[in-house]
């Protein structure tokens, strides 16, 4: 699924629409669940499955399945930031494992940097918190890949691919 913004990665929620609420009747199954989570405001690749073993293989930190995100960052991301990400970043509650940060473009007029970042963990707000640790703010965040599974660029938000 290409998860849109303002939808939660859950099977049920009392307050917000869930990713399962977006499914067409022919695609819905009671046993489906999101494999991993994306924050309410984060978009992109979300796997829906009924296979618990698959979920474990993708999500277990011991498996080191890379997750790649595309983000728009307020300010200029620098070579120093790339090095800090590569070393791992100490957050308030844990040491984030080394991450691969790639600067795609910097828009000097908007003062924003488009980046790709690859992490293997995926803890609570991890990418956002890593950028906060280097005094930057995430404007938009989209997961574009999990392991070898890539988000189909033609897949509209809210729709699923087969």
Widest pairwise Cα distance in the chain:
49
Residue given tokens 């046993």 in the structure block: 31
Catalytic residue among 16, 39, 51, 107: 39
Which helix H or strand E contains 90, and what residues bound it? strand 89-90
Contacts of 67 (CB under 8 A, 6+ apart): 36, 118, 119, 120, 122, 143, 145, 146
Query: Is-catalytic flag, 39?
Result: yes
| Positions marked catalytic | 39
């Amino acid at each position: 699924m290409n998860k849109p913004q303002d939808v939660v990665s859950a099977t049920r929620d009392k307050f917000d629409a869930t990713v399962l609420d977006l499914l067409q009747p022919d695609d819905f199954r009671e046993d489906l669940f999101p494999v991993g989570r994306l924050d309410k405001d984060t978009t992109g690749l979300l796997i829906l499955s009924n296979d618990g073993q698959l979920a474990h293989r993708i999500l277990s930190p011991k498996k080191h399945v890379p997750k790649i995100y595309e983000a728009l960052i307020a300010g200029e991301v620098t070579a120093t930031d790339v090095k800090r990400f590569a070393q791992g970043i100490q957050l308030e509650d844990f040491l984030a494992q080394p991450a691969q940060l790639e600067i795609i473009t910097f828009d000097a007029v908007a003062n924003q940097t488009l980046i790709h970042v690859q992490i293997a963990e995926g803890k609570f707000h991890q990418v956002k918190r890593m950028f906060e640790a280097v005094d930057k703010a995430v404007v938009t965040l989209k997961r574009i890949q999990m392991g070898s599974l890539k988000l189909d660029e033609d897949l509209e938000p809210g729709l699923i691919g087969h």
